[in-house]
């Protein structure tokens, strides 16, 4: 398990360096996908929303367009600066962005009707702690949304994927299998409402741009992908199309509510 304080420094270093490259990715700016997550969460006009590890704030802004108010929290100042600038450009006034640690949210209990976290659980040293904090600040009848890539249920394939991910982005901690994430929700006293899956397709070159690995790391990544063409070593459907290496992430959006207590 990564040390939480060391991990958060890795996250700050990586995304301070790669903030602009990350903002260019299709994943970060996919408006249809963002609006789909907001709708999936059940957010309403009267709701207050919290977006944990908000990054450049695009999902926070999507919640602000649907809800009474929205707050984005992130540990990386470079992301927060860009999020504030984009919100001002859009003329959004019902949201704010704050620096903070996902494991220790600076909000009272039961403060938000919707609490979200997108594309970040694989960065957390202790994702169960983050989920517990998300539940703590959730209202009694609120909803939690966690959307992230998932790993293969095969431990060897999952470890191979993590090796590739860390070479590209050293702040990657571990991609969790879907079953482990579901168990984490149950252990936190949360009942899953829906958990739709989706598939995200990439050119390897496009994906490398978001992480900005060194030349030596890039060579190792390409070799690991090449070794997965004939035998699936990582569960990423690595393939060559039009002469280019491609692969796919599986993502799951978990929407949950507080579990009912037994009578």
Using one digit for the tens of pLDDT, what is the confidence trace for 93-128?
999 999 999 999 999 999 999 999 999 999 999 999
What is the band of 260 on the pLDDT scale with cuts at 50, 70, 90?
Answer: confident
Q: In angstroms, rounded to a whole number, what is the distance separating the alpha carbons of residues 11 and 43? A: 29
Range name among 7-11, 24-28, 254-258 with the lowest pLDDT average:
24-28
> Would you state the pLDDT for residue 263?
41
Q: In angstroms, rounded to a whole number, what is the distance separating the alpha carbons of residues 38 and 62? A: 7
| Intra-chain end-to-end CA distance of the chain, in Å | 37
- Percent of the chain whose pLDDT exceeds 90: 94
> Would you state the pLDDT for residue 3?
85
Residues 114/67, Cβ–Cβ less than 8 Å: yes
User: Long-range CB contacts (< 8 A, 24+ apart) of 152-158?
Assistant: 152/177, 152/234, 152/235, 153/177, 153/178, 153/179, 154/235, 156/233, 157/232, 157/233, 157/234, 157/235, 158/235
Ramachandran sector of residue 156 (left: φ over 0; alpha: ψ -120 to 50; beta: rest): alpha
For the record, the structure tokens of 77 come out as 């100042």
Residue 101 φ/ψ, nearest 5 degrees: -105, 125
What mean pLDDT comes out for the span 135-144?
98
> Would you state the pLDDT for residue 262?
43
Residues 198/247, Cβ–Cβ less than 8 Å: no
What mean pLDDT comes out for the span 145-149?
98
What mean pLDDT comes out for the span 40-45?
98
Domain boundaries, the chain: 4-151+171-199+251-258
Average pLDDT score over the chain: 96
- Percent of the chain whose pLDDT exceeds 70: 98
Q: Which CATH architecture has domain 4-151+171-199+251-258?
A: 3-Layer(aba) Sandwich (3.40)
> Would you state the pLDDT for residue 1?
62
What mean pLDDT comes out for the span 133-149?
98
What is the band of 26 on the pLDDT scale with cuts at 50, 70, 90?
Answer: confident
DSSP output for 91-115: T--SEEEEE-BTTB--S-TT-EEEE
pLDDT of residue 261 exceeding 80, the answer is no
What mean pLDDT comes out for the span 122-151?
98
What is the band of 7 on the pLDDT scale with cuts at 50, 70, 90?
Answer: very high
31 or 59, higher pLDDT:
59
Q: In angstroms, rounded to a whole number, what is the distance separating the alpha carbons of residues 239 and 58? A: 31
For the record, the structure tokens of 28 come out as 């970060």
pLDDT of residue 41 exceeding 50, the answer is yes
What mean pLDDT comes out for the span 154-160?
98
pLDDT tens-digit series, residues 47-75:
999 999 999 999 999 999 999 999 999 99
Residue 201, strand partner residues:
248
């Amino acid at each position: 398990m990564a040390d939480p304080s060391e991990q958060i420094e890795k996250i700050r270093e990586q995304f301070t360096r790669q903030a602009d490259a990350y903002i260019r990715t299709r994943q970060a700016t996919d408006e249809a996908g963002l609006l789909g997550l907001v709708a999936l969460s059940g957010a309403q006009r009267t709701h207050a929303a919290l977006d944990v590890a908000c990054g450049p704030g695009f999902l926070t802004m999507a919640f602000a367009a649907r809800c009474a108010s929205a707050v984005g929290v992130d540990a990386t100042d470079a992301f927060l600066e860009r999020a504030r600038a984009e919100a001002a450009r859009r003329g959004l006034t019902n949201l704010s962005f704050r620096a903070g640690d996902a494991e220790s949210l600076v909000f009272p209990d039961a403060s938000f009707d919707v609490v979200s976290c997108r594309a970040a659980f694989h960065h957390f040293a202790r994702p169960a702690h983050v989920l517990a904090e998300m539940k703590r600040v959730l209202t009694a009848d609120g909803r939690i949304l966690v959307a992230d890539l998932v790993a293969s249920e095969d431990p060897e394939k999952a470890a191979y994927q993590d090796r590739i991910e860390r070479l590209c982005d050293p702040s990657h901690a571990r991609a969790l299998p879907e079953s482990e994430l579901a168990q984490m929700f149950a252990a936190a006293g949360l009942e899953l409402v829906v958990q739709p899956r989706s598939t995200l397709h990439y050119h390897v070159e496009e994906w490398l741009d978001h992480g900005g690995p060194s030349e030596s790391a890039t060579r190792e990544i390409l070799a690991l992908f090449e070794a997965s063409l004939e035998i699936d070593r990582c569960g990423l459907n690595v393939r060559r199309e039009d002469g280019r290496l491609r692969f796919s992430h599986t993502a799951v959006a978990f929407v949950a509510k507080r579990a009912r207590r037994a009578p």
